[in-house]
Amino acid sequence: MDIQLADVTIHVDKSVDSKARSDIEGMLRGIDGVVSVHNGERTAHLFVVEYNPEKTNSRDLLSAVKGSYGNAELVGL
User: Residue 27's domain is classified under what CATH number?
Assistant: 3.30.70.100
Instruction: Examine residue 42 and state whether it is found in any structural domain, yes or no.
Output: yes
Number of domains forming the structure of the chain: 1
- SS3 call for 52: coil
Note whether residue 1 is domain-resident: no
pLDDT tens column, 1-14? 677 999 999 999 77
pLDDT in tens, 36-75: 999 988 888 999 999 999 999 999 999 999 988 888 999 9
Neighbours of 51 (CB within 10 A): 23
In a domain, 28, yes or no: yes
The verdict on residue 51 lying in a domain is: yes
3-state helix, strand and coil shares in percent for the chain, rounded to the nearest 5: 30, 30, 40
The range of the structural domain enclosing residue 54 comes to 6-75
Res 15 pLDDT > 70: yes
Residue 62 included in any domain? yes
